[in-house]
Amino acid sequence: MNDEQKRRLFYILAALVFLAAAFGNQHFSRLLIYRKNKKILEQKIADLDRQNAVLRKQLEMFEKNPAQAYYDLAREELGMVAPGEVKYRFIGADEE
């Protein structure tokens, strides 16, 4: 390889490094943003899958035994108690 070829190779490599630095950084930044968004969306999908499983279980309960399902739902969601039961509420306790 003579000096002229070495010089050309140096200029080509320098140009490639310059182009990679000038334009590659934007794409790398986008890639990082896309990866972050992907993780967020995957977490949302996992949350929705869990929520969907709970709703499917509730639907199954309503299909099998609607009366019991309404009874359980009223106790859980509305805080209702059966006759003769006493509900205790503690001050400062986390409510669900």
> Could you tell me the residue range of the domain that residue 55 belongs to?
25-81
The verdict on residue 61 lying in a domain is yes
The verdict on residue 87 lying in a domain is no
- According to DSSP, residue 94 is labeled P
Q: pLDDT 10s per residue in the chain (96 long)?
A: 788 888 888 889 998 888 777 776 677 778 889 999 999 999 999 999 999 999 999 999 999 999 999 888 888 888 888 888 888 888 876 655
The verdict on residue 75 lying in a domain is yes
Q: How far is residue 93's CA from residue 96's CA, in Å, rounded to a whole number? A: 9
The verdict on residue 76 lying in a domain is yes
- Whether the CB-CB separation of 7 and 15 falls below 8 Å is answered with no
The verdict on residue 46 lying in a domain is yes
Q: How far is residue 46's CA from residue 42's CA, in Å, rounded to a whole number? A: 6
Specify the number of domains making up the chain: 1
The verdict on residue 5 lying in a domain is no
